[in-house]
Amino acid sequence: MPIFLNRKSREPLPKGKRRIAPVRPSRSIAVNVRRAIFKALGPLTEEVGNLIPWLQGTATPAQAAQVMRELQDRWRQVFGVKADQIARAWVAHSSAHAKERLEASIARALGIDMTRVFDDETVRDAATLMENEARDLITSIPAEHLAKVQQAVTHNYMQLPLPEDKNLEEYIQDLTGITQTRVRTIARDQTSKINTAVNMARQTSIGIEEYTWRTAKDSRVVGTPGGLYPEGNAVHGNHYKREGQTFRWDTPPSDGHPGYPIKCRCYSEPIIDVNQLKEAA
């Protein structure tokens, strides 16, 4: 079946309004976050790996359960501190990146050398909200990983088969790979969400009320005829149809603004009304 991709549409705008360059999420920030989480997880996966010969050998079920509980408690505390550090830097760098790009876009649109956007309480609140969400996600990574390891250990002692008839060591190696995949998804997806949240707060605070929806314009865009995901759903709407459409920040679609639905690669192209810009000078 042929794939029909949207061309980038340019609907005419009312007099006095113009589109400016979009503020897209930073790939380098997502990569740095992923590396930071991998680094934090390294000692945990190594410690679990070192326990496997004992778990498969002389450890009794009671001893194994006690060690796993202690491991979960200790890493919950250790990772809590690391999660704070990573989340704080993640949001701060994402917000600074978005602010710098917005200032440059407005300056080009106004035909001046530079402009400054001053953040208000709305932007700081959005950053705090996203920092809390990022912290919770990071903290959930070792907790979920160790819960799955604990389940595998229990199955092993109960003589229950593990997936694909793998032994405990092989299956825990698979779990490590699954956790690493989840880290990649979180780093990429949450960077996009942070970018969307601070863009909305910052742009509306200076009078940018609308944007044009933009997609990646490839076969992975949800709703693309003949693409990988030709049908939208409640979690991820038909974004193919939204390409080139105008939306207001205060009236989001059912699944959220561009970049907010899970794994969404869409982005917003701000529409400015020079007469409504407030705190850019």
Is the pLDDT assigned to residue 4 strictly greater than 60?
Answer: no
Q: List, as one string, the DSSP characters of 121-173.
A: HHHHHHHHHHHHHHHHHHHHHHHHHHHHHHHHHHHHHTTPPPGGG--HHHHHH
pTM confidence score: 0.90
Tens of pLDDT, residues 200-258:
999 999 999 999 999 999 999 999 999 999 998 888 999 999 999 999 999 999 999 99
List of residues 6+ apart from 270 with CB closer than 8 A: 19, 20, 22, 23, 102, 105, 199, 203, 208, 210, 211
Q: Where are the domains of the chain?
A: 21-209
Tens of pLDDT, residues 175-205:
999 999 999 999 999 999 999 999 999 999 9
